[in-house]
Chain A
Amino acid sequence: MKLWIGGAIFVAILMGITWMMAGGDIGANDTMGSLAMLGALATAVIAIFVSIKYVRQIQEEKAGGELADENWDGIGEYKNELPMGWAVLFLATTVWAVWYYLVGYPLNAYSQIGEYNEEVAIHDASFADKHANLDAQTLVKMGESVFIVQCSQCHGLAADGIDGKAANLNKRIEEKSVRHAIVNGANNLGYAAPMPDRNGLFNMNTGALITDAEIATVSKYVANGMKGAGEDVFQGTCAACHGSDGKGMEFVAPSIADFNPELVATVLKHGKKGVIGAMPAFDLLNEQQIKAVGAYVTSLSK
């Protein structure tokens, strides 16, 4: 009885201290504050009276039952039944552990790469969905933004090649590039047969190898957008592969009269190396982006 009265007084003291420390801050409409005080009261009551229960048990109760056979230096053990709750929990945990080791962890474990793959799959699906049917104008706009991010570091924001540091994409081809390709040959774009160098280029009009003068004339002619002097050389030497209009032939040679999206896509996939310098392949663009860049670059020289 004394213990119970002492416990009640102790709870009162604890609550008094709590009230002194925090009570002043609790206003009339402070529900949370009141709830916290209630919680403090409950905690104190439960803690104190549970302790008292066990203290009483130690004071009054005596153990009994059948002793186990084993005896450790005079310390014995009673044969008690497993508590039901404990036994059920033990069995359930065992079953869960078997499932977790064999199925749960191996099949559902977190993986950073797995999360990345999911992220990419979701993005790719929504990207393909969103940009499935772009009209020509939007495609060019998309190409422009990809160009600014991926291409402008070399070709410049205006696609002018930054004073000769890269190809000027506002026109199809420069004179020095034509000359370089004729003199050295070219095999940039993965065609089955490479373009031969000048020792393999015949002018069908004259029946002889292309001459220095002819190279100069035809280079100017091509760089000029297939205009001016040099058409006869072009038709005699270059047209066999590049077509009489210079627009190229499928599987044989690219267009040198104008850009087209397929040509740009081929360059992006293969990279190229010419008189200006080397361009790496841009594998990190997806098909839609390559199409868009193709549309943008084509639109520049139109």
Chain B
Amino acid sequence: MFHWLEKHPFFFAVAVFVTIAFAGLVEILPNFAEASRPTIGTKPYSTLELAGRHVYIKNSCNACHSQLIRPFKSETDRYGAYSLSGEYAYDRPFLWGSKRTGPDLMRIGNVRTTDWHENHMWDPAGVVPGSIMPAYRWMFANEADVDTAYAEQVTVNKVFNVPYNKPIPMKDGSTETVPMAASLDAAKAEALADAKVIVADMKNQDVKDMVASGKIPEIVALIAYLNSLK
């Protein structure tokens, strides 16, 4: 076999490539698979949260806010535990961000609540003196795009096998299930039900009226998304 290979340079080169490629696969793939598996407690996004994620992306929040806490004491003191790669398993695309004009938002759901986000998005400097973040008041009037969010849910479920309607292990040993509706109308109804829970903690009357009439303002979706960042 080796005698034959030594006399055939082309096949020898192929054999060298196969050998090295195999060694590479054996060393790289298991580690990679382990690191990209969702961490315990990482859930896929619900329809409303995905709609909020789209609002987040649409308004380029990631231009000023990162979602990646590096393992330095100075960062974990400010923002919470450092990020793990498996926590981005359901982020398509991930929103690490390249610049921190504002604080990191990876775990904002642990330290801020619905009513704070409402005040802050309406008038950032009103709650954080000296803040240079602009107000995002149109989010209180614009409607969130639930159709696209549901389309994304169905796509990632079909293409990447994202576990909707399946038990997901949580940190305390229990399991939770993130539902994905069977039809667009059902998805809209589900998103509206989620929105009602959020709006119960809000004070803006226009937003409350919109949700009462069956519409979901962008701010509600965005808050659902921000609250899910934990």
Known interface pairs A116-B72, A119-B73, A284-B80. Does A277 touch B127 (Cβ–Cβ under 8 Å)?
no
How far is B113's CA from A115's CA once the two chains are assembled, in angstroms?
33
Contact B72 A283 (CB under 8 A): no
Instruction: Write the chain B residue with the least CB distance to A149.
Output: B78
Size bin of chain B's contact surface = 20 to 34
Question: Of the candidates B73, B115, B119, B128, which one forms a contact with A116 in the assembled complex, judged by CB atoms under 8 Å apart?
Answer: B73
Size bin of chain A's contact surface = 20 to 34
Contact B80 A278 (CB under 8 A): no
Contact A116 B82 (CB under 8 A): yes
Query: Interface digits, B118-138 against A, CB 8 Å rule (1 contact, 0 not)?
Result: 010000001111000000000
Contact B126 A280 (CB under 8 A): no
Contact A153 B73 (CB under 8 A): no
Contacts of B126 in A (CB 8 A): 162, 165
A174 to chain B, nearest CB (A): 16
- The answer, yes or no, to whether B114 is at the interface (CB within 8 Å) is yes
Query: Interface digits, A154-181 against B, CB 8 Å rule (1 contact, 0 not)?
Result: 1011000010011000000000000000
Contact A278 B113 (CB under 8 A): yes
Main secondary structure of the interface of A (DSSP, over half): mixed
Contact B113 A162 (CB under 8 A): no
- The answer, yes or no, to whether B175 is at the interface (CB within 8 Å) is no
Instruction: Write the chain A residue with the least CB distance to B126.
Output: A162
- The answer, yes or no, to whether B166 is at the interface (CB within 8 Å) is no
Question: Of the candidates B72, B110, B127, which one forms a contact with A154 in the assembled complex, judged by CB atoms under 8 Å apart?
Answer: B127
- The answer, yes or no, to whether B167 is at the interface (CB within 8 Å) is no
Can you spell out 20 A-B residue pairs with CB atoms less than 8 angstroms apart? Answer: A112-B71, A113-B71, A113-B82, A116-B76, A119-B72, A120-B73, A153-B127, A153-B128, A154-B116, A162-B119, A165-B115, A165-B126, A166-B116, A277-B116, A277-B201, A280-B110, A280-B113, A282-B111, A284-B76, A284-B110
A-B interface, 8 closest residue pairs, ranked by CB to CB distance from nearest:
A277-B115, A116-B71, A278-B113, A119-B73, A165-B119, A120-B73, A153-B128, A280-B111
